[in-house]
Amino acid sequence: MIGYLKGELAEIKESYIVLEVGNIGYEVYLPTNAIMDLPSLGSTMKLYTYLHVREDAIGLFGFLSKDDLEMFKLLITVNGIGPKGALGILSSISADEIRFAVLAEDVKTIAKAPGIGNKTASKLILELKDKFKLETAFEQRMMNQMQSNDTSGIVSKREEAAQALTVLGYSGTDALKIVNQIDITEEMTSEEILKQCLKKM
Q: Which parts of 111-189 fold into alpha helices (H)?
A: 118-128, 134-148, 153-167, 172-181
Q: Are 151 and 145 in contact (CB under 8 A)?
A: yes
What average pLDDT does this structure show over 177-191? 77
The structural architecture, per CATH, of the domain 4-63 is Beta Barrel (2.40)
Distance of CA 121 to CAs 78, 80, 87, 104, Å? 10, 11, 15, 12
Query: pLDDT tens digits for 77-134?
Result: 998 899 999 999 999 898 888 988 898 888 999 998 888 889 999 999 999 988 887 7
Residue type, 8: E
Ranges in the chain annotated CATH 2.40.50.140:
4-63
Between CA 80 and CA 154 the distance in angstroms is: 35
Distance of CA 85 to CAs 6, 28, 104, 105, 156, Å? 25, 16, 22, 20, 30
Query: Where are the extended beta strands (E) located within 64-111?
Result: none
Q: Are 102 and 94 in contact (CB under 8 A)?
A: no
Between CA 45 and CA 20 the distance in angstroms is: 10
Residue type, 32: T
- CATH fold group of domain 66-131: DNA polymerase; domain 1 (1.10.150)
Ranges in the chain annotated CATH 1.10.8:
152-200
pLDDT at 29 over 90: yes
What pLDDT is stored for residue 151 in this prediction?
43
Q: Under DSSP, is residue 141 helix (H, G, I), strand (E, B) or coil?
A: helix
Q: Are 177 and 105 in contact (CB under 8 A)?
A: yes
- 0.85 exceeded by pTM: no
Q: Are 71 and 144 in contact (CB under 8 A)?
A: no
pLDDT at 60 over 90: yes
Between CA 117 and CA 112 the distance in angstroms is: 8
Position 173 confidence tier, pLDDT thresholds 50, 70, 90? low
- CATH fold group of domain 152-200: Helicase, Ruva Protein; domain 3 (1.10.8)
Query: pLDDT tens digits for 121-160?
Result: 999 999 998 888 777 777 777 776 655 654 446 666 777 7
